[in-house]
Amino acid sequence: MPEHQKIRNIVIIGAGNLATHLALALHRKGVNVIQVLNRTRHAGERLARRVGAGYTDDFRAADLGADLFLLAVSDSSIEEVAKNLQLKAQLLVHTSGSVDLSVLKNASLNIGVFYPLQTFSKEKRINFSNIPVCIEANTKENEEKLVQLARLLSNKVQILSSSQRKVLHMTAVFAGNFSSFMYTIAEDLLKKHDIPFSLLKPLIQQTAATAKNEDVFSRQTGPAVREDTKIIDEHLEMLSKHGVYMEIYDLISKSIIKHKNRNDQL
């Protein structure tokens, strides 16, 4: 890609967790964050200071000379905020896993998506190098520009369509949010019986480590995959005072058995 087409100057819209982590990471990689645009002054000014950018809360004051407008706002605000920018051909991207590229189509001639797949908490500095960044754009040239930018941050840059990105986002709910809730259920039940949650921590780490391979199900253990109905029934009995947990135990166990028998037939 010719030097003059590289993305050098960025306007960040938003000052939440994702906006902050992206702005800081790009700034560290030598990309100029020239402006932070955010409705709430305090958070916007704070982020602007950290990356040496200007700050504005006024869409009409957006610096239209930037190479990229990076929208890191809530899913439901993307379309409206994009319109308010009143761009013509400046490259405009959103950062959402679940929003279609097409919501930007009336906001600029050059549009894309820059979606880092990770959960960002406020606290600690994020190392993006291992975090997948999923790219989509309305032209090959825009795609290439965004891929180059993403590669500054991450070793795992992936081009995905809007529909693929939505599937990925949905599966991240299972692999991330729901597995985390399984830990919560365990912690909750242990607390009720005065048993330290720390006893489960090595198991949790080891289980996550098995997902470093493909075909996770081949490493599935426990009463369900053994179809050990005696233990399953004992566990359901123990959970009888915890209605929802019992339902979850029952449904997932049945689903594991079904999955196993389906695989056995293949």
- By CB under 8 A, the residues from 110 to 129 that bind a copy of itself are 117-119, 121
By CB under 8 A, residue 176 contacts a copy of itself? yes
Q: Is 265 in the site for a copy of itself (CB under 8 A)?
A: no
- Check residue 125 and report its DSSP letter: P
Considering only residues 192 to 211 of the shown chain, the ones binding a copy of itself according to CB under 8 A are 193-211
Residues 232-261 within binding reach of a copy of itself (CB under 8 A): 234-235, 238-239, 244-245, 247-249, 251-252, 254-256, 258-259
Kindly tell me which of 125 and 174 has the beta carbon lying closer to a copy of itself: 174
Contact status: 22 vs a copy of itself (CB under 8 A): no
Tokens, residue 63: 């610096």
Q: Describe the chain by its helix, strand, coil percentages, rounded to 5.
A: 55, 15, 35
Q: What is the DSSP letter of 266?
A: -
- How many residues bind to a copy of itself according to rule CB under 8 A? 89
Stretch that binds a copy of itself, among 18-26, 29-37, 83-91, 157-165 (CB under 8 A): 157-165
| 114 Cβ contact partners less than 8 Å away, ≥ 6 residues apart | 70, 93, 94, 95, 133, 135, 146, 149, 150
Complex with a copy of itself: residue 64 or 182, whichever CB lies closer: 182
Q: What angle do CA 49, 54, 57 make, to 5 degrees?
A: 105
Tell me which residues in 56-115 interact with a copy of itself (CB under 8 A). 75-76, 98
Q: Does 225 sit near a copy of itself (CB under 8 A)?
A: yes
Closer to a copy of itself by Cβ: residue 109 or 131: 131
Sequence letter at residue 223 = P
Applying CB under 8 A, does 212 fall inside the site for a copy of itself? yes
CA dist., res. 243 & res. 31, Å (int): 52
Distance CA 192, CA 248 (A): 18
